Amino acid sequence: MTPYFFKLVQENENLYQAELLRYGVEQKLASEAAKILASEKPDELLSSEELSAIVEACEQWSTQYLYRNGGLRENLHFQ
């Protein structure tokens, strides 16, 4: 793994973790999910534990995001 690639993965992990924490996902789960998301592994290569962590973190994030931003209806953009 090249140093540039490692730095990019680390930056992505930090961004994912910051966003998850911002919307109330607990520290341990946010860290675990961020690491998995930053790795950019295809879903087929993830273990059931990894998939569960991502689903749980994203559900928590989504719930808080919608709550803080006025719900789903206001966030939909109709074309």
Model confidence at 2: pLDDT above 80: no
Place of tokens 């730095």: 7
Q: Answer whether residue 73 shows pLDDT above 70.
A: no
Per DSSP, 70 falls in state T
Give the span between the Cα atoms of 70 and 56, in whole angstroms: 21
- The verdict on pTM exceeding 0.75 is yes
Q: pLDDT tens across 28-70, in order?
A: 999 999 999 999 999 999 999 999 999 999 999 999 999 888 7
Query: Helices 3-22 and 27-39: crossing angle, nearest 10°?
Result: 140
